Amino acid sequence: MKAIGYTDAGPLSAANALVEFATAPPQPGPNDLLVEVRGISVNPVDVKVRSGAQPDNGPRILGFDAAGVVKAVGSAVTQFQSGDEVFYAGDITRPGTNAQLHVVDERIVGRKPASLGFAEAAGMPLTSITAWEILFDSLGLKEGEGAGESLLVIGGAGGVGSILIQLAKQLTGLTVIATASREDTSAWVKKMGADHVINHRNPLNEEMKALGIAPRYVAALTHTQQHFAAIRELIKPRGQIALIDDPDSLDVASLKRKALSLSWEFMFTRSMFQTDDMAVQHQLLNRVSALLDDRTLQSTVNHHGGVLNVANLRAAHELQESGKAIGKTVLDGFSE
CATH number, domain with residue 103: 3.90.180.10
Residues of the chain where predicted confidence (pLDDT) is lower than 70: 336
Same-domain pairing of 66 and 26: yes
Q: How far apart are CA 298 and CA 293, in angstroms?
A: 9
Q: How many CA atoms does the CB half-sphere of 289 hold within 13 Å?
A: 22
Give the pLDDT of residue 58: 83
pLDDT in tens, 184-199: 999 999 999 999 999 9
pLDDT at residue number 16: 85
In tens, the pLDDT along 275-296 reads: 999 999 999 999 999 999 999 9
Percent of the chain scoring above 90 in pLDDT = 95
Q: Is the Cβ–Cβ distance between 18 and 99 less than 8 Å?
A: no
Residue ending a domain, choose from 264, 298, 313: 264
Range of the domain at 228: 127-264
pTM of the complete model = 0.97
How many structural domains comprise the chain? 2
Residues 159, 253 within the same domain: yes
pLDDT at 206: 97
Residues 6 or more apart whose Cβ sits within 8 Å of residue 336: none
Contact 178, 187 (CB under 8 A): no
End-to-end Cα spacing for the chain: 11
Q: Let me know whether 27 and 109 are in one domain.
A: yes
- Residue where one domain finishes, among candidates 232, 264, 296: 264
